[in-house]
Amino acid sequence: MQATTHTRSLALGPVNLKGRSFLTLKDFNSDEIKHLLWVAGDLKHRIKHEKQYLPLLQGKSIAMIFEKRSTRTRMSTETGFSLLGGHPCFLTSQDIHLGVNESSTDTARVLSGLSDIVLARVYSHTTLEELVKDASIPIINGLSDLYHPIQILADFLTLQEHYGSLSGLTVSWIGDGNNVLHSFMMTAAKLGVHLRVATPKGYDPDSSIIQEAQRLSKQHGTQFLLTSDPVEAARGSNVLVTDTWVSMGQEEEKKQRIKDFLGYQITMQTGSVAKPDWTFLHCLPRKQEEVDDQVFYSPRSLVFPEAENRKWTIMVN
């Protein structure tokens, strides 16, 4: 958590994230998440609008381990780290052979001596936990099968910019019970956001994460709904959200998944039961069966500001 340690004096409240790894937002409380969003917005304003140069990471390097390819994660990390004066080093699975030619333990120790922080985009969340166990530097989850926390920070920064405040908003997830949804479930209640989830039967979120989301909702006084009816989930919502129906590694399931997700495409008809000011999010890449062009390219769609905000939120990790 490098950038926030340099700018935390600008934020409201005594929050110190120095040396913390960032595997899941489950590990962060309300004040810490709000702090991350505040600093991301502050950096965006200073760098993008005031054209300030802030070499907060001068002389620092980040090792980027990618078992899974990505446009937004790679570009946002490389540009964001560079804007703060740091040096990104990109490693694919062919470059590093994580856990194949070298154990995760040895890789963690080697990278701890060669870099200042590691961002890993991996298939299994267990890989991240193994890296954290043996590394002496912070590890960032760039995506795993269980969580995608850096995406959720960008999503909530986008909503905060658009609506002015997060508390009291209702977000409706309509789609697969995947890693992005899991991160929403670990975060929404802590920000005062109500969460309504519709997934097809058999595609529910992880049961332990459902239990934690219910606990968080009760603790923070928000509403949490889990249903298989997209209309029920969308009713009265401020924000409609979906994601890919077929993630990397699920290609053989594509035909069955598309069949099972019929009726889950987000359209203007879906939005007809939402709040009049409803907006749309998608972490990309997007397929038309998930959301039609009328919604995706409409003024209601925040997907491109959302993608840009990946750059500003990665700076605070």
- Whether the pLDDT of residue 84 is over 90: the answer is yes
**Total residues belonging to the chain:** 317
Q: What is the pLDDT of residue 78?
A: 97
Place of tokens 């030619």: 101
Displacement of CA 196 from its chain's centroid (Å):
18
Give the pLDDT mean for 83-101: 84
| CATH class entry, domain 55-145 | alpha beta
- Judge whether 89 counts as a catalytic residue: no
Determine the angle formed by the axes of helices 72-83 and 303-314, rounding to 10 degrees.
50
Is 218 in contact with 254 (CB distance < 8 Å)?
no
285 preceded by cis ω (within 30°)? yes
Q: Say what the pTM is.
A: 0.93
Q: Is the pLDDT of residue 98 over 90?
A: no
Residue 252 three-state SS: helix
CA 56 and chain centroid, separation: 23
Which residues sit opposite 66 in a β-bridge? 92, 121
- Identified catalytic residue from 283, 291, 295, 307: 283
226 contacts: CB under 8 Å, gap ≥ 6: 197, 199, 204, 205, 210
Residue 30 has pLDDT above 80, yes or no: yes
| One-letter identity of residue 143 | L
Write down the pLDDT at residue 114. 97
Q: Where residue 8 falls among pLDDT bands split at 50, 70, 90?
A: very low
* Closest among 193, 197, 149 to 172, alpha carbons compared: 197
- Residue 314 DSSP SS3: helix
Q: State which fold the 151-309 domain adopts.
A: Rossmann fold (3.40.50)
Cβ contacts of residue 22 below 8 Å, gap of 6+? 1, 138, 139, 140, 141, 149, 150, 317
Terminal Cα-to-Cα distance of the chain (whole angstroms): 4
Are the C-beta atoms of 131 and 104 separated by less than 8 Å? Answer: yes
- Taking 80 as the threshold, does the pLDDT of residue 154 lie above it? yes
pLDDT score, position 5 = 37
Q: Tokens 């919604």, residue?
A: 295
**How is the chain split into domains, by residue range?**
55-145, 151-309
> Which residues on neighbouring strands pair with residue 194, listed in sequence order?
170
Kindly report, residue by residue over 256-300, the tens digit of the pLDDT: 999 999 999 999 999 999 999 999 999 999 999 999 999 999 999
> Smallest Cα–Cα separation from 76: which of 285, 313, 243?
313
Per-residue pLDDT band for 1 (boundaries 50, 70, 90) equals very low
Nearest to 3 by CA among 48, 45, 43: 43
Q: What is the mean pLDDT of the chain?
A: 93
Q: Mind listing the pLDDT tens digit for each residue in 161-203?
A: 999 999 999 999 999 999 999 999 999 999 999 999 999 999 9
Other CB atoms within 10 A of residue 96 CB:
19
Is the alpha carbon torsion for 218, 221, 226, 227 positive or negative? positive
According to DSSP, the residues that pair with 281 across neighbouring strands are 241
Query: Would you call 272 exposed, middle or buried from its count of C-beta atoms within 10 A (0-12, 13-18, 19+)?
Result: exposed
Round to whole Å and give the CA distance between 63 and 89. 5
In single-letter form, the type of residue at position 119 comes to L
Question: What angle, 0 to 180 degrees and rounded to 10, lies between the N-to-C axes of helices 104-114 and 125-134?
Answer: 60
**Is the fold of 55-145 the same as that of 151-309?**
yes
